[in-house]
Amino acid sequence: MFLDKEQLDQLEEHITEILPDLLRRNPKIATTIEGILAQHFPLRDEFARLLDEFTGFRQETRERFDRVDQDIHELKTDVGVLKVDVGVLKVDVGQLKTDVAMLKSDSATLKNEVGALKGSDLERKVRERAYVYLGRFALRLKTVADAELAGLLEDAVEQGRLSEAEETDAKLVDALARGRRRVDGVPIYLAVEVSGVVTQHDLERAIRRAALFEKATDSPTLPVVVGERIVDEMWEAAEQNGVGWVVLPQTR
């Protein structure tokens, strides 16, 4: 017997209405229906399995993300502490640099002061014992005292032989000695520049100031450089420019 569409629709509606009661009254009907569904829809269980796996994966992923978030939080905390430590370190390094710079400055100042003291000591030796250190250039040597040197230069300015600027330069000579030249006995002055290590600058000062004293006194004046150390180049330059040189014995 074949049913038309209208009859089929009515039958489906009726079955749908009575199906819940039938399932409650006869569990076998539910088993039959499940078998039919499993036969016609075999992927349903697979979908359920996959859904369970996906749910588990999502849970595992969430837990991993939670752990990553915790690690990131701890890392940020560590980075913050590190930044503070680096900041403190920078401050300490800056202070250290300042201290080192001050130490270098103090060391340089100390070297300059020691050098100045040593230079002053050498000048004193030459002035006090001119006949010992300068005797090979002249006889009967005598150091010109500061008062006599000042009068000599002032007279030269008043007489127009020196300018005031030349007087200022000449009075800075380390030592001025007077004696008689060994080769011919002619009265002579020695304009002496003293330094621990004789340099080109010392040589030039000796030549320049000897020329000024020669103008001021109208007497021959020999430029002389004196030091504990004179390099070969300075010896040669002194010889070429007619400058006398003396190497002092070093004391410790």
* The model's pTM: 0.53
The Cα–Cα gap between 240 and 233 comes to 11
Answer yes or no: is pLDDT of 66 > 80: no
The contacts found for 239-243 with CB under 8 angstroms, 24 or more apart, are 241/203, 241/207, 243/203, 243/206, 243/207
Answer yes or no: is pLDDT of 87 > 90: no
The Cα–Cα gap between 143 and 137 comes to 14
Question: In sequence order, which ranges of 129-160 are alpha helices (DSSP H)?
Answer: 130-133, 146-158
The contacts found for 231-239 with CB under 8 angstroms, 24 or more apart, are 231/197, 231/198, 234/198, 234/199, 234/200, 234/203, 237/200, 237/203, 238/203
Answer yes or no: is pLDDT of 109 > 50: no
- Hey, which residues does 143 pair with through a beta bridge? 177
Mean pLDDT for the stretch of residues 133-145 = 94
190: helix, strand or coil: strand
Q: Which helix (H) or strand (E) holds 191?
A: strand 187-198
Q: Say if CB 149 and CB 192 are below 8 A apart.
A: no
Provide the pLDDT for residue 244. 92
Domain segments of the chain as ranges: 129-247
Provide the pLDDT for residue 110. 35
The Cα–Cα gap between 58 and 62 comes to 6
Sign of CA dihedral 200, 202, 207, 208: positive
pLDDT in tens, 28-65: 776 776 666 666 555 556 556 655 665 666 677 677 76
Provide the pLDDT for residue 43. 52
- Of the pLDDT bands very low, low, confident and very high (cuts 50, 70, 90), residue 19 is low
Q: In what order do the strands lie in the sheet with 221-230?
A: 138-143, 175-181, 187-198, 221-230, 244-247
User: 8 or 244: which carries more pLDDT confidence?
Assistant: 244
Write down the CATH number for the domain with range 129-247.
3.40.1350
Pull the structure tokens for residue 221: 């004046």
Provide the pLDDT for residue 251. 55
CA 175 to chain centre: 42
Provide the pLDDT for residue 11. 67
- Of the pLDDT bands very low, low, confident and very high (cuts 50, 70, 90), residue 166 is very high
159: helix, strand or coil: coil
The angle subtended at Cα 58 by Cα 55 and Cα 64, nearest 5°, is 145
